[in-house]
Amino acid sequence: MTDPLVGDTCPADCTIITCTPGGAKQVVSVSFTPPAGKNVASITVLLEYPDGTVQIPGTADDDSVAAAVTNTPSGFLVATYDYDYALRVGIAGTRAITVGQLFRATFDVCQGATAPTAADFKCIVTEAAGTNFQPVSGVTCAVTLL
C-alpha cells in the first residue's frame, strides 16, 4: 500500500522490525544529481533503510533524528522525519544546491545484525524545485557507505 506522506510503500508486510542498538555505527552519504542544465534549490529525499539491521536514533521529528543528519548544505533550511524504516530529509533555500553530497546520516547498527551494504538502502527524490520555485523532474539520488 502506498503511503501518500512518503510516496513509497511500507515494509513488505507493513511491520517494522525492532532494533536494539549494538554499539556500532553506519554512516551513509546521500548525493543527488539533477538533469543536465537544471538547478535544484529545494529537494526532499526519502532514504529507506533496512529496519532490523540499522536504525536512526529517535523517531519522527525528535531532536536526535535531526542530530543524526549532518553535512547538509550551509545556509539552507533542513527538516528531518524518521518513519523507523525510512528517513525523510527536506532541504530548501533560495539558491542552487551544489551538486554532489546532500547529507550524511548516522545509523545505529542493530545488535546481532550484519552491517548493511549500500544496496540495502533505497534513495528516492520525492520532490525537487529550482531557483525559480518550479518543479524539477528527473532528479536522482544515490547512497554510499562511509
- Three-state SS for 60-126 is ECCHHHHHCEECCCCCCEEEEEECCCEEEEEEECCCCCCCEEEEEEEEEEECCCCCCCHHHCEEEEE
Looking at domain 19-145, its CATH architecture is: Sandwich (2.60)
**Would you list the domain boundaries of the chain?**
19-145
pTM value? 0.88
Contact partners, residue 4, CB within 8 Å, separation at least 6:
none
Among 38, 20, 26, 35, smallest CA distance to 116 is for 26
Per-residue pLDDT 10s for the chain (146 aa) are 344 444 445 656 677 788 888 888 999 999 999 999 999 999 999 999 998 999 999 889 999 999 999 999 999 999 999 999 999 999 999 999 999 999 999 999 999 998 899 999 999 999 999 999 999 999 999 999 99
Q: Collapsing DSSP states into helix, strand and coil, what is residue 24?
A: strand
Q: What are phi and psi of 67, to 5 degrees?
A: -70, -25
